[in-house]
């Protein structure tokens, strides 16, 4: 075969590098790059008349669109899988803008998704004049649980002095963010009252606020979030995705804080079965993002988290890690918190304290598939593992 081989091109920048390497002209590189990137976009709940138009238009551009066999003769709605190069998608959206049946909006959605998939770096704006640069290097969020009953280290750092010492050790080991929690969210745990949660975290926060650290608070309560931000926190890590406390969006907006929106089927809709698992998680995260936008929270302050372990089976957690790239369609930086969780223990038959290697494997998989932040217990080990993952992900060629 004389050394011929296939290449996998993930984005336009990579396509341009391959073309420049073979000596294509600059003008040719710019023109051909969109033809070198293949995308598949799943459109949800498209009216059948519109679905058939999408299929015919994409076929005419040299691409393809898979529609349900029933869509040809019915008047319902079905999903559509559209497949083609970026150039074919560009030509498709130009045509769909002039079509009826809501296809102008569909064309705008396709353009947004395609643009989101090209994003590789973000600047998350934070209060107190801070910001968080994401994308070039994976950031490490170190976990400090000021609780007696967290699944991994409950009770070890329940004392404020111990919690502060642990946070500073994590920072020295390479943590970019310290995430402090005062109420366990593990399955089966009892939620402490707000006063107790505040009593646990505020003394720790106040002592860390002068240490030039990015501080995150793991809470779903607006009152706790407000007090924490006043004490020096920069990010609210909301496991409720703005659903568990209707006042949370207002607090985050007033303080111009960073916000992590997590998907959660443990405390929210626990009795509701998934339809298509990944479809549902993406849709519910999109709805959480829409709530943030409606509450006045800027797009440049939002991070999304698919919620590993929160109302998911072991198999579903692995699916999230494998399909994490799909979540880039939402256009926001992604945080993954898989550290020491039960799906690792069930897979490897290991107790919590022996899950370091499994946690590192999950962190590396998350980074390779698009995570910008990993939330972990073992900072030093993870720092080294994701540094290698970053180098592999960004290597030339």
Question: What residues contact residue 342 under an 8 Å CB cut-off, 6+ apart?
Answer: 151, 187, 309, 314
Are 141 and 177 spatial neighbours (Cβ–Cβ below 8 Å)?
A: yes
User: Of 55, 265, 340, 375, which is the active-site residue?
Assistant: 375
Give the pLDDT of residue 152.
52
Q: Count, in order, helices (H) and strands (E) of the chain.
A: 14, 13
CA distances from residue 119 to 85, 261, 357, 372 in whole angstroms, order as listed: 17, 19, 30, 12
How would you classify residue 239: left for phi > 0, otherwise alpha for psi between -120 and 50, otherwise beta?
A: alpha
Nearest in space to 214 (alpha carbons), one of 131, 305, 145, 298: 131
CB atoms under 10 Å from CB of 289, counted, come to: 21
Give the pLDDT of residue 189.
63
Give the pLDDT of residue 397.
64
3-state secondary structure of 83: strand
- 341 classed as catalytic: yes
- 375 classed as catalytic: yes
- Looking only at the bridges linking them, the beta strands covering 177-181 and 139-145 are parallel
Give the pLDDT of residue 269.
76
Give the pLDDT of residue 188.
62
Residue 327 CA to residue 305 CA, distance in Å, equals 9
- Looking only at the bridges linking them, the beta strands covering 64-67 and 77-85 are antiparallel
DSSP string, 203-255: HHHHHHTTS--EEEEE-S-HHHHHHHHHTT--EEEETTTT-S-TTHHHHHHHH
User: Of 200, 341, 355, 383, which is the active-site residue?
Assistant: 341
Are 50 and 101 spatial neighbours (Cβ–Cβ below 8 Å)?
A: yes
Q: Backbone phi, then psi, for 121, in 5-degree steps?
A: -140, 145
Q: Backbone phi, then psi, for 289, in 5-degree steps?
A: -65, -40
Residue 88 CA to residue 63 CA, distance in Å, equals 6
Domains by residue range for the chain, with CATH: 37-118 (3.30.70), 122-394 (3.20.20.20)
Mean pLDDT by 10 residues, the chain (397 residues): 85 92 94 94 96 96 94 88 97 96 97 96 97 97 84 60 94 98 75 91 95 96 98 97 96 98 85 90 97 98 97 96 97 98 96 95 97 98 98 85
CB atoms under 10 Å from CB of 46, counted, come to: 24
Give the pLDDT of residue 371.
98
Nearest in space to 163 (alpha carbons), one of 177, 148, 180: 180
């Amino acid at each position: 075969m004389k050394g011929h081989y296939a290449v996998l091109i993930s984005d336009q920048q990579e396509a341009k590098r391959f073309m420049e390497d073979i000596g294509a002209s600059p003008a040719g590189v710019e023109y051909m790059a969109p033809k070198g990137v293949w995308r598949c976009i799943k459109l949800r709940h498209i009216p059948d008349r519109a679905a058939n138009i999408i299929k015919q238009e994409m076929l005419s551009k040299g691409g393809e669109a898979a529609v349900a066999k029933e869509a040809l003769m019915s008047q319902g709605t079905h999903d559509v899988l559209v497949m083609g190069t970026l150039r074919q998608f560009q030509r498709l959206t130009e045509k769909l803008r002039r079509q009826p049946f809501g296809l102008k909006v569909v064309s705008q959605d396709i353009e947004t998704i395609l643009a989101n998939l090209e994003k590789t770096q973000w600047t998350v704006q934070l209060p107190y004049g801070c910001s968080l640069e994401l994308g070039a290097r994976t950031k490490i969020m170190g976990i400090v649980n000021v609780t007696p009953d967290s699944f991994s280290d409950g009770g070890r750092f329940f004392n404020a002095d111990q919690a502060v010492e642990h946070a500073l050790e994590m920072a020295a080991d390479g943590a970019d963010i310290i995430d402090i929690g005062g109420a366990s969210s593990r399955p089966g745990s009892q939620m402490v009252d707000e006063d107790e949660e505040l009593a646990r975290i505020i003394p720790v926060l106040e002592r860390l606020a002068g240490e030039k650290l990015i501080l995150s608070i793991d809470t779903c309560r607006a009152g706790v979030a407000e007090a924490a931000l006043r004490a020096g926190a920069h990010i609210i890590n909301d496991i409720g995705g703005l659903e568990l406390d209707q006042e949370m969006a207002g607090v985050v907006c007033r303080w111009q804080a960073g916000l992590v929106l997590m998907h959660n089927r443990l405390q929210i809709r626990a009795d509701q079965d998934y339809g298509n698992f990944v479809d549902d998680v993406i849709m519910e995260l999109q709805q959480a993002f829409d709530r943030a936008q409606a509450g006045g929270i800027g797009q440049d302050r939002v991070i999304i988290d698919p919620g590993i372990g929160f109302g998911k089976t072991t198999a579903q957690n692995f699916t999230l890690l494998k399909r994490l790239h799909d979540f880039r369609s939402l256009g926001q930086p992604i945080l993954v918190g898989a550290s020491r969780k039960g799906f690792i223990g069930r897979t490897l038959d290991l107790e919590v304290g022996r899950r370091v290697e499994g946690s590192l494997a999950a962190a590396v998989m998350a980074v390779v598939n698009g995570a910008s932040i990993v939330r972990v217990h073992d900072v030093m080990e993870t720092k080294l593992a994701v540094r290698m993952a970053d180098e592999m992900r960004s290597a030339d060629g």
